[in-house]
Amino acid sequence: MEGSGGAFSPAAASAAPRRPVWLALPLVVAAAVTAALYVFGTQHTPDYYTSLFGQSAADTLPLKSWLRTGLLALAAMQVFLALWMYGRLPRLRAAHGVAIGHRALGIAAFGLFLPIAYHCAFAYGVQTTNVDTRVVVHSLSGCFFYGAFAAKVTIVRAKQLPGWTLPLAGGVLVTLVAVLWYTSALWYFNNYSLP
């Protein structure tokens, strides 16, 4: 949230009126996006030869694993910048550039996630039957990620929500990034098995 002049202002964030009914808005948005992706993913016929940067089938696994690892690193940086921005790091004062950096990294992370999600959606779809638990968790986490992202964008824009909603939404996003990395990149790097 930004105050006058574009600088982050926790006081401005807490000055907005709090209306509990507004809490339903990000939840409805998240549910709608998640459900739409789930329906598409379960109804779509997978095309295992969908290309990702010239790679297809099993050749995409190393590429997607490294992209997901980069995404996990960006998510960790997002947490660090959010803690800094909200004054939760004792020796670092919040600065105008921190909010800009947080937003820029968020856009970069979303941009990095798009080609991975495109490939997963069209090559595999959402798989919840006749597959191992890792695939089910990965498929559902991908759907939930975009629902959570849509909720976070809604929360950032809605000034009527309590101050705890934005950190909660950010935490859910980072958790989903970690789950997606664990169920895919780590699985690949660990010789197709989870520790």
* Of 15, 30, 10, 22, the residue nearest 158 (C-alpha): 22
pLDDT band at 108 (very low <50, low <70, confident <90, very high): very high
Is pLDDT at 10 greater than 60 in this prediction?
no
pLDDT band at 41 (very low <50, low <70, confident <90, very high): very high
What pLDDT is recorded for position 66?
95
Dihedral pair phi/psi, residue 176, rounded to 5° = -65, -40
Instruction: Give me the amino acid identity at 172.
Output: V
pLDDT (tens digit per residue) in 136-187 = 999 999 999 999 999 999 998 887 888 889 999 999 999 999 999 999 999 9
Question: Percent of the chain, pLDDT > 70?
Answer: 89
Strand partners, 55: 52
Is pLDDT at 94 greater than 80 in this prediction?
no
pLDDT band at 19 (very low <50, low <70, confident <90, very high): low
Residue 195: other Cβ atoms inside 10 A:
6
Which pair of tokens denotes residue 19?
A: 């209306």
Helix pair 96-123, 24-43: axis angle to 10 deg: 30
What pLDDT is recorded for position 57?
76
**pTM, two decimal places:** 0.84
Tokens 């921190």 label which residue?
98
Average pLDDT over residues 109-113: 90
Provide the residue ranges of all domains of the chain, joining segments of one domain with +. 60-195
Distances (CA, A) of 37 to 129, 160, 178: 17, 28, 20
- Distance CA(21)–CA(6), nearest Å, equals 28
The overall average pLDDT reported for the chain is: 86
